[in-house]
Amino acid sequence: MNTDTSQTAPVESIENAAEAVARAKVLLTSATVDGLSYCEAELAAAIDSLENLRKHLEADANLPVGGVRNLAQRIQKDVSEFTSLLQQAREFHAGLEDLSASSLAGYTASGAAAKTGDEHSRIEMKG
C-alpha cells in the first residue's frame, strides 16, 4: 500500500482505503491484542486515503473516477461488517462481565442462588 497519500491519484486513494479496511476487518477477527492494535493503524491509513480522495475531488470535479463507486461500496460493506463485529464483541464482553459478576456474588446467570460448597459431593481420604 502506498503510505504517502499526499500525491496519490483518486482511484489509488480509494483502492488503498478499501485494502486497509479489509485488512483491519481480518485483524479484528484475529482477536489478539496485536491484531487489534494493527487494526487501529489500518483504519487510520484508510481514513488518510479517503481524506486524500476528498481533497482531489474537491480540487478537480472533472477527475476520472472510473472504479471509485464499486470500491466505495466495498468499503461501505466492509465497514458495516466491521461495525457488526464490534457490536457482537461488545455484547459478548458485557454478557461475560454479567456472568462473572453474578458468579462472584453467589448467583447463576439465570439469577438462581449458586450451589454452596456444602451441596457438592466430597471425597475423603483416610490414611
According to the model, what pLDDT value does residue 1 have? Answer: 46
Q: To the nearest 10°, report the CA torsion of 23, 26, 28, 31.
A: -140
Instruction: In whole angstroms, give the CA distance from residue 74 to residue 65.
Output: 15
Report the alpha-carbon distance of residue 58 to residue 92 in Å, rounded.
Answer: 42
Say what the pLDDT of residue 62 is: 73
C-alpha cell read off for 26: 481480518
Average confidence (pLDDT) per 10 residues, the chain, 127 residues: 52 86 84 79 87 81 71 85 84 83 70 63 55
What local confidence, expressed as pLDDT, does residue 123 receive?
Answer: 54
